[in-house]
Every structure is written in structure tokens, then in C-alpha cells.
Copies of this chain bind each other. A is one copy, B any other.
Amino acid sequence: MAKVTALETIDLRFPTSRDLSGSDAMNPDPDYSAAYLTLRTDDPALTGHGFVFTIGRGNDVQCAAIQALAPEVVGRDVDAIVSDLGAFSASLVNDSQFRWLGPEKGIMHMAIGAVVNAAWDLAGQRAGLPVWELLASMTPQQLVDCVDFRYLTDVLTPEQALAILEEGQFGKAERIARLKTPGGGIPAYTTTPGWLGYPTEKVLRLAREAVEEGYSQIKLKVGSDLDDDRSRLRAAREAVGPDVRIAIDANQKWDVDEAISWVKALAEFDLAWIEEPTSPDDILGHAAIRRGLDGIPVATGEHAQNRVIFKQLLQAEAIDVMQIDAARVGGVNENLANLLLAKKFGIPVCPHAGGVGLCELVQHLSFFDAAVIGLDVPERRIEFVNHLHEHFHDPARAERGVYLAPQQPGFSAAIKDETFAEYQFPDGSYWQSEAARA
């Protein structure tokens, strides 16, 4: 009977602002960071990991929010947690005093998501399965029991979810086997060439490399200067040719009318989608933008705070592509609801990744989506950024533009000790040496 004996947090920050990796129209100088947590148990070999991705300042506050959940978790029985992850998730989400701090949004909700994800990491390890296969091994009713349907039943009832999941049982074994073959995984797209701070020459070189590496889609950041966007897009389109998809991403830069006119001025470059044209909270705004764009697909979701926002984006016919994030909402459980909503509305899920460890986490959700919920969706792609994976024990891998199925038990969330020694903030060796230079 292993029990959770401790919840520990680490404030981890990488100095990515130094080379403008991750720069975009709204985030000119991010320091990619993780508010990282470890659930320790009285079995020294069994630890669960989770994290919230942030971009620097405030990562300490995010750690404090995760740490505040320790009394809710420490002392619980591991088997009780992993055998009823719906109840575990609900116990955190529905704590009325913590809930007031959102509700179900922002720092407190992300903290809960990180703890929930760490519990799924424990569950995968206990089952000896990567989390996506653990999910795929669960019965439809077990999966339904993981989901909080509050605020969803006007568009998705537990009975409807059960029917979707039961349909997903047919051919499941064949899909899982295919997903595990080389080249049979989830297609990736890459944002590596597209950061706004990169000079055009670097964009071109990286775009060509992406095509050579086998990617069928790249993404460019836009929204600071229309002329600059046009010249970078023209060059990128020439570099990759007509058959590689090019998406663009404005990172919430525009108001509604500006989004429509700006994107229309880029339409000639054959856009795969416009991502985050405006506030992630503006459901009606996204719907108006989509109507105004005459068929250019609209994508959003990495900053959608919870399932209620996704529900409405789908109800309002505001998006063509739904972009879940593994560490923004309340963890695996809420993302199960999000995947089910997308299926109900027939919208492909192309997760947001990059950052610190987001590829590692979200690949599990997409492989499960392909196996049991969304099934065969040709548009499904996971974002891939070739960056910071070396810090993970079980890094996400893409080959010839396709994610390989995760194989190790758990959620691929564990970061190496040597990384903490260097990048823990402010005591790691990198930040200490920076402090000395400053």
C-alpha cells in the first residue's frame, strides 16, 4: 500500500530569450520555464511528475500554487488515486476555496492540472504502460468516469460520450499496432523555422531543412508588421514549394476586424490555418473572424482555459482546428472532455506543443485520440519544436516528420537531475553564473 509521501516543486527556467527562440508577436522575450512537481511515494522507485509551462516571471507563483495543493495529496493511497482518477481530479477541481481563485482557469487551474497529470504519470508506471496506452486500455465506462460533465451536458452527455468511446473500441487493436510502426505515428508540423525574431535568411534555411527532414507542414509567426509577414511568407512558400502546408500564428495580437483584413492580405500564400488571431476568450470574435475569412481555417486553443471555452468555440462554429494544450487545462481528465467534444463536432485536434515538455505530454493525448476517440483524421498533426528535449528522460521523438509512439511507462514528464543543477531558478549553476555576470 504505497502512499504519497511528499509533493515537491522546482522553479526551472531556461534562458531562451537570449537567442529569440520562442519569440512571437505577443511574447518578444520568453524564458521557457516549468513549474515542475514530483509526487514522492514510500516506494523510492515510484515518483510521479508533472509541470506547468510558463515563460519566465511568475514561475515562482505557479510553483507556490502547486505547492498549496500538497495537503490535498500527501498521505493519500497511490492505488486509491490511480484506480479512480476521476474522483482524484474532482477532489482538486471542486475544492470550493481553491475554485474561487479561478474558477477553473489561470494559475490555480493549471496547478491542479499539473498534479492531475503527475497522478496519471504514477498510473502509467503502476500499469507498466505509457499513458496513451493506459488510456486506450480503459473501458468506455472507466473513461467516462474520468470526465467532469458539469457545464457540458447541453452539448455532450455522459451517454453520448459513452457511445463515442464504444464506437472507438472497433478496430482499436489494429490502430494501436499501426500507430506503433515506423512512420505509422502522428504526423508532426514544425514551428522551428518560424519564430518572429529570426531573420528571413534563417527562416528560409530552417524551412528548407524542415522539408528535407520530411515535414509536410511548417508554421510561421505573424502579426508585428504586415509587409514583413508578406515577405517572409513569400520566401517561405518559395522555399517549401506548393505541397507543404504553411500555417500562420498571430498569438492573440489582433482585434476582430484587424484579424480579418490582415489575414486576407496573406491569403495568396495558401494558408493551412490562422492560429490565435485574437483573445483566447473571444468565442464570438473567433466566429466573426472565421466568417470573415471565407474559408481560411481558424485554429485556437493553447490558451483556452477549460472545457467550457472549447465547448463554446465548437458550438459557435468558431474554429476549424482545435488545439489542446496538455498543461493549460485541468490535466488529462479535462482533456478527455475536450477530445470528446471535438469528436462530437467533427473537428480535428492538432495539439499545441513546444515550450518545455509540451511535446512530451501531449503526444500521449494525440496517440490516444487516434486510437479510441477521433480515430483516423488526416488533418491531425502535433506541433513539434526541436528544442529542450534533451532535458527529458523519455524525450518526444519525430522521424521524417512523424511522431513515434511513446514506449516507456508513464507520461514522459520526468526531467533529468543535471538539468535542475544547471537551470533551477535562481540557485542553478547557470543562473548563479548569470547573476555573477550581471
Contact = CB atoms under 8 A, between A and B. Distances in A.
A108 interface: yes
Given A68-B60, A96-B55, A252-B103, A154 B285 contact: yes
Contacts of A103: 252, 279-280, 303
Interface residues of A, number: 61
Contacts of A308: 279, 281-282, 285
B306 A97 contact: no
A103 B27 CA distance: 12
Interface stretch (A40-48, A174-182, A309-317): A309-317
A262 interface: no
A56 to B, nearest CB: 4
A301 to B, nearest CB: 14
A309 to B, nearest CB: 6
Interface in A250-301: 252, 255-258, 278-285, 288
A109 interface: yes
Nearest to A63: B64
A100 B54 contact: yes
A308 B256 CA distance: 12
B58 A97 contact: yes
Interface string A2-26: 0000000000000000000000001
Given A61-B68, A106-B109, A154 B281 contact: no
A333 B311 CA distance: 30
A405 interface: no
B151 A278 contact: yes
A410 interface: no
A257 B154 contact: yes
Interface string A91-125: 00001111111111111111000000000000000
A30 B97 contact: yes
A437 to B, nearest CB: 19
Contact of A68 (B58, B153, B316): B58
A57 interface: yes
A152 interface: yes
A61 B284 contact: no
A217 interface: no
A284 B315 contact: yes
A283 to B, nearest CB: 6
Contacts of A309: 281
A65 B58 contact: yes
Contacts of A306: 281
A58 B108 contact: yes
Interface string A57-94: 11011101100100000000000000000000000000
A346 interface: no
A83 B99 CA distance: 36
Interface of A: 26-31, 54-58, 60-62, 64-65, 68, 95-110, 150-154, 252, 255-258, 278-285, 288, 303, 305-306, 308-309, 311-312, 315-316
17 contacts: A27-B100, A30-B100, A54-B100, A56-B97, A57-B68, A58-B97, A58-B108, A65-B107, A102-B106, A103-B280, A104-B279, A150-B255, A153-B255, A153-B258, A154-B288, A279-B308, A281-B309
Given A55-B96, A57-B98, A61-B68, 9 more contacts: A57-B95, A58-B101, A60-B64, A61-B61, A62-B101, A64-B64, A154-B256, A282-B308, A283-B283
**Shortest 5 CB-CB contacts between residues of A and residues of B:** A106-B106, A57-B97, A154-B256, A56-B97, A107-B107
